[in-house]
Amino acid sequence: MRKIVVIVNPISGGKSKEDIPAIVNDTFPECDYCVDIVETKCAGHGYELAMQAIADGADTIVAVGGDGTVNEIGRALITDTTVKFGLVPMGSGNGLARHAEIPMDVRQAFKLIKAGHSELIDYGDMNGHIFFTTAGTGFDAEVGQRFAEMGKTFSITGKRGPITYLRAIVEMAAVYVPKEYTIMTDDEVFQQRSFLITVGNAAQWGNKAYIAPKASQQDGLFSVTIVKPFLYIEAPMMAVQLMNRQFDRSEHVRSIETKHLRIMCNDIGYSHVDGEPMKLPSPLDVTMHPGGLRIIVPKKRKNIL
């Protein structure tokens, strides 16, 4: 009998989770499955619940939430790659779920978990902070911090969506100044004034914004995107390229593949891991960990992980 623990973040993405118990009961009949549903109560609680589920012998642990919830639970699951990680995307961006072609429909996502096909994927760490999709520093991290600050002023009923994020982008674009970085990869050291630097383990930030369109989670390499300064009049075209998986074709973008990365800056500002902004000291040291997380994915996908 499969033992499944479903960990629900009740406030992720500003979306109601009240139908989750009924969907779980419909999908996993009691005669064949032992399913527990638990809710996170605060930041970091998802990690604790996942560690307890592993200790209790769960063979599948499910995250119902966004990339922050996925990160918390995934950090626990890298300790045991026999445990399968199921994703039910209910966040604002859902970067890992979209990269892995997990259905955005909740019922279909649970049906995929029931099917149970799993594969190992890579993950990275930046100064010891684990990430599964992207990490980096610069404009996107500053926007993430602004978005988080705006979210604290809203109720849990739904103001953390795309419109709020767009507002954060517009506000930050009016004041942000690109910075001077020294960048070290496996093969070179160079200096670059940059708008942002994103280390991609997955192709997108979320919401089909493909910041690292050629990134794979099964090749043991990061796809690093360095965005050079550009005129704001060029931003609409770059946005189109971002959404069409052609961002690496922009003349303002440099793409690098590497297993290790060091980013140095005298004024590093905010950084992020899986979209969660944080203050980290320079240098930022990023390291690849191949095949360290087992996630449930469709057997047939358009793209490799």
Q: CATH 3.40.50.10330: which residues of the chain? A: 2-116
**Residue 156 pLDDT > 50, yes or no?**
no
Q: What is the mean pLDDT of residues 90-113?
A: 94
**Residue 4 pLDDT > 50, yes or no?**
yes
User: Phi/psi of residue 53, each to 5°?
Assistant: -65, -40
Q: What is the mean pLDDT of residues 38-55?
A: 96
Cα–Cα distance, 138 to 185 (Å, whole number): 18
Look up the CATH superfamily of 2-116.
Probable inorganic polyphosphate/atp-NAD kinase; domain 1 (3.40.50.10330)
Q: Which helix (H) or strand (E) segment is 52 a member of?
A: helix 45-55
pLDDT range class, residue 303, cuts 50, 70, 90: low
**Residue 181 pLDDT > 70, yes or no?**
yes
- Domain 129-290: give its CATH code: 2.60.200.40
Nearest CA-CA partner of 231 in 246, 205, 250: 250
Nearest CA-CA partner of 13 in 172, 206, 146, 230: 206
Q: Packing angle between helix 67-77 and helix 45-55, nearest 10 degrees?
A: 40
Quote the pLDDT of residue 155: 43
pLDDT range class, residue 206, cuts 50, 70, 90: confident
Q: Which helix (H) or strand (E) segment is 75 a member of?
A: helix 67-77
pTM for the whole structure: 0.91
pLDDT range class, residue 166, cuts 50, 70, 90: confident
Contact 203, 148 (CB under 8 A): no
Q: CATH 2.60.200.40: which residues of the chain? A: 129-290
Cα–Cα distance, 252 to 189 (Å, whole number): 19
